[in-house]
């Protein structure tokens, strides 16, 4: 069974631009979560989707948005990029509808903002 796939793996943008990151969950998983990882703030929750609905959102500005498609694939978008948005963005999928069971993470998308 294929794991969680994130694309692109690496990207470089300049301040003010926007970026879209993609995540394909494990087949059959309907919950997809996104996390931001930085050296200073560590791993922080961005948002979680289940069956195309955003169920939870972390404490991030409105520049960070996401969506989930009917096939459970998810995208996140960051508009008007700032230097501080440089981070590893991790997507995770889960089989369970509720908050039990482990998350399966992708390898991440490393964003560098210049």
Partner 1 sequence: SQQGEEDPQALSIQEGENATMNCSYKTSINNLQWYRQNSGRGLVHLILIRSNEREKHSGRLRVTLDTSKKSSSLLITASRAADTASYFCATDPSSGSARQLTFGSGTQLTVLP
Binding site residues, partner 1, CB under 8 A: 4, 31, 33, 35, 41-45, 48, 50, 55-56, 58-59, 88, 90, 92, 94, 97-108, 110
Structure-block tokens of residue 28: 């059959």
Least distance to partner 1, CB of residue 6, Å: 8
Helices assigned H by DSSP within the chain:
none
Least distance to partner 1, CB of residue 79, Å: 23
Helix (H, G, I), strand (E, B) or coil at 81: coil
CA distance 40 to 95: 31
CB 86 within 8 A of CB 111: yes
Q: Name the residue nearer to partner 1 (CB basis): 78 or 93.
A: 93
CA distance 28 to 35: 21
CB 46 within 8 A of CB 36: yes
Q: Name the residue nearer to partner 1 (CB basis): 65 or 79.
A: 65
Phi/psi of residue 83, nearest 5 degrees:
-55, -35
Q: Name the residue nearer to partner 1 (CB basis): 85 or 93.
A: 93
Q: Name the residue nearer to partner 1 (CB basis): 27 or 51.
A: 51
Least distance to partner 1, CB of residue 34, Å: 11
Least distance to partner 1, CB of residue 10, Å: 10
């Amino acid at each position: 069974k294929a794991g969680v796939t994130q694309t692109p793996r690496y990207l470089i943008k300049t301040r003010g631009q926007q970026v879209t990151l993609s995540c394909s969950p494990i087949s059959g998983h309907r919950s997809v979560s996104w996390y931001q990882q930085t050296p200073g703030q560590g791993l922080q929750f961005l948002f979680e989707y289940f069956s195309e609905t955003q169920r939870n959102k972390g404490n991030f500005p409105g520049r960070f948005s996401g969506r989930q498609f009917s096939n459970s694939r998810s995208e996140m978008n960051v508009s008007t990029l700032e230097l501080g948005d440089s981070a590893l963005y991790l997507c995770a999928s889960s089989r369970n509808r509720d908050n039990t069971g482990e998350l399966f993470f992708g390898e991440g998308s490393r964003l560098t903002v210049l």
